Amino acid sequence: MAAGVGITPLRALFETLPEDPVLIHWARRPEDLVLRHEIDTVAARRGARVYYSVSHPAGYRLALDAETLRGLVPDVARRVCYLCGPPDWTSAAQAALRAAGVPAHRIHHESFAL
């Protein structure tokens, strides 16, 4: 899971992690999804899933909560999760993953902001 510029390190992980990676990227606007073409190419090549969330325009924002995460990734509680984004977002993402049943030892995070 990435937010903003946190997508940079997670783009590399998305390409190299084994098995069935899922990437969820939150951004403010569609034009802020700067690596979208590369990520879509990796997803297509690997048969992996990727989801995008933008705050504007309205109607394209994914909630950062346990229900949404379980809806997108039903087995999220059994996965190892990597997070990178601004500090407040990273804290919220950790809380959502914990509420979705992901054990703390399977959540790896880095705050990354400009």
Tell me the β-bridge partners of 2.
25, 84
Q: What is the pLDDT of residue 113?
A: 59
Average model confidence (pLDDT) across the chain: 94
φ, ψ dihedrals at 69, nearest 5° = -60, -45
Q: Is the pLDDT of residue 112 over 70?
A: no
What does the pLDDT look like over 60-98, one tens digit per residue? 999 999 999 999 999 999 999 999 999 999 999 999 999
Q: How confident is the model at residue 114 (pLDDT cuts 50, 70, 90)?
A: low
pLDDT of residue 35: 94
* Residue 80 contacts residue 17 (beta carbons within 8 Å): no
Which tokens in the block code for residue 51? 């989801």
Asked if the bond preceding 57 is cis, omega within 30° of 0, the reply is yes
Rounded (10°) angle between helices 36-46 and 7-16 = 20
Phi, psi of 103 (to 5 degrees): -65, 145
